[in-house]
């Protein structure tokens, strides 16, 4: 068995089963006869629109996706914007989308296509916040170490779109939302910060998160959080015509990878699809588990896990949660024989680098040291992508056109 090829095949399968061309048609309602609008935002949204129009034909509407994730659409207008830090293009596109909703009435059917990344792509700051203010908050959140659900609480209360506000703008039209989940636990309220889902959090909750992680926010953001919230509560009448359906999730991708491995005669354990925490800490924990397991197995064993790790940035290197996890795991394993691993983001982009993640092998640390690279120094400097780039052990998938969170696989062979 070529261990690296095997692990890469598992990642490719995890991505394949979450392809909107597969999961969107299976969940489409009947095409309505009357007025129809299609809206969407996220890294998978353009592909979702492509899948939709392959079944329904040309539709009217607007979708916002990440630069590089564009797809050919027949009728729906496609706008591209920046992710993970928003830009002016995203602001303009969001305002166009809201203007489009003004055309809707109670006889309109709106289909919303939402996936991870929508928080940064569908952007319209609340109060007197400028785009620069919102960009500063997003950048601070991304390096704070806060988990995605807490980041999204802050984002919701600083937005005119998130936390059910998009659904409120569409009311009284019928709004049917299809979602691809990239959040631990698959709570629709956290996917793209829940633009079509009510939320019970408060501005005080957002303020507590900002304080807990020492996040520096501009005065305009503080002013928004000191005023009444625009977030829509779950029982609000303006949500009564909205339905939300998750059509792809991390658990499905892990099960698909498990099936491939079991066909190869490999035992498989799924450690969970919603693991969170510091990437380097999770890697140390799983590394210790792997070393303990290895002495007790008689055939290859695969550990799979998903979720969304975080990185509290203290260095100035080029990193991302998956690469940092992989580097920390390599250090924890310390060259132990018979252990190979892969850690990748299923959207094809890991943190600050346009690569999905990285591979780990028993010789990873030795090869780095032979090049004069100190693994621990790279980890301390949050420079995991530079570390793996020097070894040519990065995993480059390009835009996958979907997003079901992180995918981690550790193959343990008996010694």
**Mean pLDDT across the chain:** 96
Contact status, residue 333 vs residue 325, Cβ threshold 8 Å: no
Between CA 376 and CA 329 the distance in angstroms is 11
Residue 237 pLDDT: 97
pLDDT band per the 50, 70, 90 thresholds, residue 230: confident
**Among candidate residues 167, 221, 228, the one with its CA nearest the CA of residue 196:** 167
Between CA 38 and CA 413 the distance in angstroms is 49
Give the rounded distance of the alpha carbon of 48 from its chain centre. 15
Q: Is the pLDDT of residue 85 over 90?
A: no
Q: Is the pLDDT of residue 250 over 90?
A: yes
Q: How many CA atoms lie within 13 A of 353 on its CB side?
A: 27
pLDDT band per the 50, 70, 90 thresholds, residue 258: very high
DSSP H helices, 131-249, are 131-142, 148-157, 165-170, 203-212, 219-226
pLDDT band per the 50, 70, 90 thresholds, residue 111: very high
Residue 149 pLDDT: 86
Q: Is the pLDDT of residue 232 over 80?
A: yes
Torsion of CA 157, 352, 370, 334, to 10 degrees: 30
Residues in CB range of 403: below 8 A, 6 or more apart: 18, 42, 43, 44, 115, 116, 117, 180, 182, 345, 346, 347
| Prediction pTM value | 0.93
Beta pairing partners, 146: none
pLDDT band per the 50, 70, 90 thresholds, residue 262: very high
Give the model confidence (pLDDT) of 348-397 as tens digits: 999 878 999 999 999 999 999 999 999 999 999 999 999 999 999 999 99
Give the model confidence (pLDDT) of 285-339 as tens digits: 999 999 999 999 999 999 999 999 999 999 999 999 999 999 999 999 999 999 9
H or E stretch covering 359: strand 357-360
- Percent of the chain predicted with pLDDT > 70: 100
CATH superfamily of 3-12+251-412: MOFRL domain (3.40.1480.10)
Domain made up of 31-248: CATH architecture: 3-Layer(aba) Sandwich (3.40)
Give burial (CB, 10 Å; 0-12/13-18/19+) of 101. Answer: buried
Give the model confidence (pLDDT) of 130-156 as tens digits: 999 999 998 899 889 999 889 989 999
Q: Is the pLDDT of residue 228 over 80?
A: no
The domain spans of the chain are 3-12+251-412, 31-248
Q: Is the pLDDT of residue 213 over 80?
A: yes
Greatest extent of the chain over all pairs of C-alpha atoms, in Å: 68
**Among candidate residues 411, 257, 407, the one with its CA nearest the CA of residue 345:** 407
Q: Between residues 85 and 339, which one has the greater pLDDT?
A: 339
Q: Is the pLDDT of residue 229 over 80?
A: no
Contact status, residue 403 vs residue 182, Cβ threshold 8 Å: yes
Q: What's the mean pLDDT in 34-47?
A: 97
Write down how long the chain is: 415
Give the model confidence (pLDDT) of 54-69 as tens digits: 999 999 999 999 999 9
Residue 1 pLDDT: 77
Between CA 413 and CA 408 the distance in angstroms is 17
Residue 148 pLDDT: 83
């Amino acid at each position: 068995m070529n261990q690296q090829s095997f692990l890469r095949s598992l990642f490719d399968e995890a991505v394949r089963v979450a392809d909107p061309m597969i999961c969107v048609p299976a969940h489409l309602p009947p095409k309505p006869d009357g007025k129809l609008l299609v809206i969407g935002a996220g890294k998978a949204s353009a592909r979702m629109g492509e899948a939709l129009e392959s079944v329904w034909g040309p539709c009217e509407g607007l979708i916002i996706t990440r630069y590089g994730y564009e797809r050919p659409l027949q009728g729906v207008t496609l706008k591209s914007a920046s992710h993970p830090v928003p830009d002016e293009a995203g602001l303009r596109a969001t305002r166009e989308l809201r203007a489009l909703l003004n055309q809707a009435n109670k006889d309109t059917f709106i289909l919303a296509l939402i996936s991870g990344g929508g928080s940064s792509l569908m952007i319209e700051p609340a109060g007197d916040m400028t785009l620069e203010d919102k960009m500063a908050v997003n950048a601070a959140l991304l390096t704070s170490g806060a988990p995605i659900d807490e980041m999204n609480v802050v984002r919701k209360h600083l937005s005119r779109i998130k936390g059910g506000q998009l659904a409120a703008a569409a009311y009284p039209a019928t709004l049917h939302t299809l979602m691809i989940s990239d959040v631990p636990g698959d709570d629709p309220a956290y996917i793209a910060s829940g633009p079509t889902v009510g939320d019970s959090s408060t501005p005080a909750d957002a303020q507590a998160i900002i304080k807990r992680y020492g996040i520096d926010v501009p005065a305009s953001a503080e002013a928004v959080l000191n005023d009444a919230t625009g977030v829509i509560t779950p029982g609000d009448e303006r949500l009564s015509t909205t339905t939300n359906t998750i059509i792809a999730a991390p658990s499905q991708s892990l099960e698909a990878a498990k099936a491939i491995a079991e066909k190869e005669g490999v035992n498989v354990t799924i450690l969970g699809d919603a693991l969170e925490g510091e990437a380097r800490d999770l890697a140390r924990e799983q590394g210790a588990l792997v070393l303990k397991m290895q002495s007790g197995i008689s055939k290859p064993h695969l550990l799979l896990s998903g979720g969304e790790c975080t990185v509290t940035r203290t260095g100035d290197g080029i990193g991302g949660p998956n690469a940092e996890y992989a580097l920390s795991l390599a250090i924890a394993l310390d060259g132990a024989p018979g252990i190979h691993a892969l850690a990748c983001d299923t959207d094809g982009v890991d943190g600050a680098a346009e690569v999905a993640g990285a591979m780990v092998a028993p010789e990873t640390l030795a090869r780095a040291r032979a090049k004069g690279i100190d693994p621990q120094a790279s980890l301390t400097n949050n420079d995991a992508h530079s570390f793996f780039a020097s070894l040519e052990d990065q995993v480059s998938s390009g835009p996958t056109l979907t997003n079901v969170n992180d995918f981690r696989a550790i193959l343990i062979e008996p010694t």
